[in-house]
Amino acid sequence: MGKKCAAILLATLVSCGVTLAQSTLGTLLGTVTDPSGAVVPNAMVKITNIDENTSRTLTTDASGNYAAVDIKAGRYSVEVSNPGFQTTRVRGIELGARQTLGVDVTLRVGQVTQQVEVKGESVGVIATETETVSSTYNTLEITSLPTNYRASGNGNSPYYLLEILPGMQTDQSGNLSIQGGLQSQSQFSVDGISITDVTGNRPLHNAFPSAESIAEFKVQGVGSPAEFGDPGDVTTTSKGGTNVLHGSAFWYHQNAALNALPFGAVQKPSEIANDFGGSAGGPVVIPHLYNGKNKSFFFADYEGFRLPRTSTIQNTVPTGP
């Protein structure tokens, strides 16, 4: 009886832990039509993650619609084929975290052996599938925007990038408001795990990941789905490995050479700050034992921050006799 109760308690705790996390997966959907605009049922749709070379296949319904749910953010291609039509492939589709992206495909009459390539760079530029108002920073923008959060007196957290996202406002305490909402009505998460500081209505700084490991920042407010619980939501997703081995190394240094004299100070603080680290990702490969290409991937990063001195201390003491 004791073992049975322990098992029930463990299952309850596991289920509670799962419900607390939120999904960061997105959806690709669309309608397949012929040149006349008529829908094409039972067409085969193959959706491929370009970086991982993994794919899933589904067919359109009687109305020519397809929907691939629970897809991780990344670069995708959509290939549609049907007897009597040319195979059409849409490449370069960028799916963000928690995004519902529509990719409609028009098939041309012809042989299946013929192929039509369509560039998908413009897909999702104007979101029409949902009413949510959102904005996103990708990994290139996160590491390249001219913001002073690397080796600075405020630390090295990319948390400060949230303040310059469209629709974000901050008060004097640093609390964030999303598109005019109350600061207490915002949620923050990393890979679906909440990092909201309930005492300050902002992210927990110590739980924020390194900028080198972030794949995307996404903030959504007006029209945010009810599943997120609050009108405002900031989603952070981390990078993952791909079929190509890749990595990076960085070092940011700051000192007082170009700093101004602080108000009321008689000398500059002797500021010396160093932010350094690197990252690596790729397929899991164990020579002669396992080849994880197209199946298993890894990503890891390290960041060290050294800031021994940032300010001067001025005291007033009585003059000598």
14 found inside a domain: no
4 found inside a domain: no
How many structural domains does the chain have?
A: 3
Pairing type for strands 297-309 and 168-170 reads unpaired
Give the bridge partners for 217, in sequence order.
Answer: 137, 236
Q: Do 267 and 200 reside in the same domain of the chain?
A: no
Q: Give the residue numbers spanning the domain of 223.
A: 134-238
315 found inside a domain: no
Its sign, for the CA torsion 313, 314, 318, 321, is: positive
Task: Quote the tokens at residue 237.
Answer: 């997703």
Q: For residue 158, give the CATH number of its domain.
A: 2.170.130.10
Q: Do 75 and 142 reside in the same domain of the chain?
A: no
Per-residue pLDDT reduced to its tens digit, 98-147? 888 889 999 998 876 777 878 766 565 556 666 666 777 888 888 888 77
- Give which of 106, 113, 61, 53 is closest to 80, Cα–Cα: 106
* Distances, alpha carbon 78 to alpha carbons 2, 56, 64, 232, in Å: 53, 10, 15, 31
Q: Do 234 and 254 reside in the same domain of the chain?
A: no
Instruction: Give the per-residue pLDDT at 17.
Output: 39
Count of positions (residues) in the chain: 321
The chain-wide mean pLDDT, for the chain, equals 79
169 found inside a domain: yes
Q: Do 144 and 214 reside in the same domain of the chain?
A: yes
Q: Do 100 and 138 reside in the same domain of the chain?
A: no
Choosing from 214, 238, 262, the residue where a domain stops is: 238
101, 78 contact by CB (below 8 A): no
Q: Do 166 and 223 reside in the same domain of the chain?
A: yes
Pairing type for strands 44-49 and 74-81 reads antiparallel
Task: Quote the tokens at residue 254.
Answer: 């700051």
Range with the poorest average pLDDT among 97-101, 213-217, 263-267: 263-267
State the first-to-last Cα distance of the chain, in angstroms, to the nearest integer. 84
Q: For residue 32, give the CATH number of its domain.
A: 2.60.40.1120
**Burial class of residue 90 in the structure, from the number of CB atoms within 10 Å of its CB (0-12 exposed, 13-18 middle, 19+ buried):** buried
